[in-house]
Amino acid sequence: MGRDASMIDATPAVLGGFKVNAVAEGPFPMIAELSGAKASGLLVKGLSAQDVTRLDYYEGSFAYDLQRVTLSDGQEAEVYVPQAGRWTPDGPWSLEDWAAKSGQMSVIAAAEVMSYLGHQDRDAVAAMFPVIRARADAQVRAAHSLHSAECFHGHVEIENRTRAYSKFYAMDDLVLRHERFDGTMSESLERAVLIDADAALVMPYDPLRDRVLLVEQIRLGPIGRGDRAMWQLEPVAGRIDPGEHPEEAARREALEEAGLTLGGLEKIAEVYPSPGTSTGFYYLYLGLADLPDRSTGIGGLPEENEDIRSHLMSYDDLMARVERFDVAGAPMVMAAYYLARHRDRLRQGIA
């Protein structure tokens, strides 16, 4: 609501004939009518018209609308109820579990949602919600990154930050000042940054057959650059879903894109592919796998309009391509050189 929560008048209340469940498509709760059930919650009083407008906007992005109800003590109230058939109930809801697992991410996501009030309608925000959550989850993960412990940790002052664009990606224009190595502050700098989600990438490798599986798909970077080669060979890759560990995402993407169930995973790197321009952050793995000749095919999720072709390639062929610059994706080159260093160990079956 854009104001101090401690000033809000909220008291415990019970609503009969309703039950709160987790949502399978979550992470968030839903409330629905159920005879004989009771839902415990908070009755909020004294809201202004502006408060309700803000709540309507936020809850509306979940396809929730106000419905008049009578509480167990006879008081009249309103509650946000999901549109029929919109979400799938997924067992009892636990506020404590949600707060521990998704609370921080949800607060960050809510701030982005509310920044669109007056600029985007609630349906547009609803369509963006998966990437909004993924971007928020990346911020949570960034607080625990492993890199650059010995680098300079100077002061950065954001004088202005404006969201210039938001859909699948977001773009922010910034005016900032930063501390220099000599302790002075820089002048005001105008910059822009692409706001992206974190991604997990994995190159499947079969030590027995000494070959890898790569995927080929069309890529917007080469299209935008005007490259003659708009289809690229790459490791399996995909966005990390909110609450998902990077290794879980790597395994899920291998199954979705290439139909592979991976064995052991070896972490290759945790890296920004372009820290000067983008928040995008990659968790790159080598995945041990069984790769018989039948492993290739066309994969990807139809609902995400993915059209992905997989290729089997011998280690020697992979390294020959890398050395003649026939591969343009940085994660692929990194994975290839990691494999070159660890190949003998992996082929000997040494963990």
C-alpha closest to that of 337 among 262, 288, 270, 269: 269
Say what angle helices 315-323 and 330-347 make with each other, to 10 degrees: 140
| Across 230-240, average pLDDT | 93
CA-angle at 281, arms to 157 and 341, nearest 5°: 130
Q: Is residue 149 included in any domain, yes or no?
A: no
pLDDT value, residue 296: 80
CATH of the domain at 41: 3.10.490
> Residues 172, 204: one domain?
no
CA 59/CA 94 separation, integer angstroms: 19
Same domain, 109 and 131: yes
Judged by DSSP in three states, 104 sits in helix
Which long-range contacts link 119-128 to residues 24+ away (Cβ below 8 Å)? 120/166, 122/56, 122/57, 122/60, 122/61, 125/57, 125/61, 126/60, 126/61, 126/62, 126/63, 128/166, 128/167
Quick one: average pLDDT of 14-25? 93
In a shared domain, residues 101 and 114? yes
Q: What is the pLDDT of residue 351?
A: 52
Report the b/e string of 207-239 with b at 16+ CB within 10 A: bebbbbbbbebebeeeeeeeeeeeebbbbbbbb
Do 214 and 189 share a structural domain? no
Helices 104-115 & 122-142 angle (0-180, nearest 10): 140
Same-domain pairing of 298 and 208: yes
- Rounded mean pLDDT of the chain? 92
Structural contact between residues 281 and 198, judged by C-beta atoms closer than 8 angstroms: yes
Tokens of 154: 């100077």
Both 132 and 205 in one domain: the answer is no
pLDDT higher than 80, residue 305: no
190: domain range? Answer: 156-195
Domain's final residue, options 147, 176, 195: 195
Q: Is 273 exposed, middle or buried (0-12, 13-18, 19+ CB in 10 A)?
A: middle
Residue 183 lies in a domain: yes
Domain assignment present for 146: no
Instruction: Give yes or no: residues 161 and 24 share one domain.
Output: no
- Report the percent of the chain where pLDDT is more than 90: 76
Tell me if 263 is assigned to some domain.
Answer: yes
CA atoms within 13 A on the CB side of 119: 12
CATH of the domain at 270: 3.90.79.10
Q: Check whether residue 232 and residue 164 sit in a common domain.
A: no
- Rounded Cα distance, 89 and 210, in Å: 46
Residue 151 lies in a domain: no
Inside any domain, residue 224? yes
pLDDT tens across 58-68, in order?
999 899 999 99
- Residues 76, 150, 187, 304: which is the catalytic one? 304
Domain count, the chain: 3
Tens of pLDDT, residues 156-196: 999 999 999 888 889 999 999 999 999 999 999 999 999 99
- Using CA atoms, how far apart are residues 164 and 146, in angstroms rounded to an integer? 30
Predicted local distance difference test score (pLDDT) of residue 85 = 87
Q: 336 pLDDT exceeds 90?
A: yes
Does residue 264 sit in the same domain as residue 303?
yes
244 within domain boundaries: yes
Flag whether pLDDT at 127 surpasses 80.
yes
Residue 31 pairs in a beta bridge with 20
Q: Which residues contact 296 (CB under 8 A, 6 or more apart)?
A: 213, 309, 310, 311, 312
- Annotated active-site residue 304? The verdict is yes
Is 105 in a helix, a strand, or coil? helix
Residues 110 and 230 in one domain: no
- Kindly indicate the confidence band of residue 105, based on its pLDDT and cuts at 50, 70 and 90: very high
For residue 233, is it within any domain?
A: yes
- Does 111 lie in the same domain as 26? yes
Domain boundary at 147, 177, 195, which?
A: 195
Same domain, 134 and 58: yes
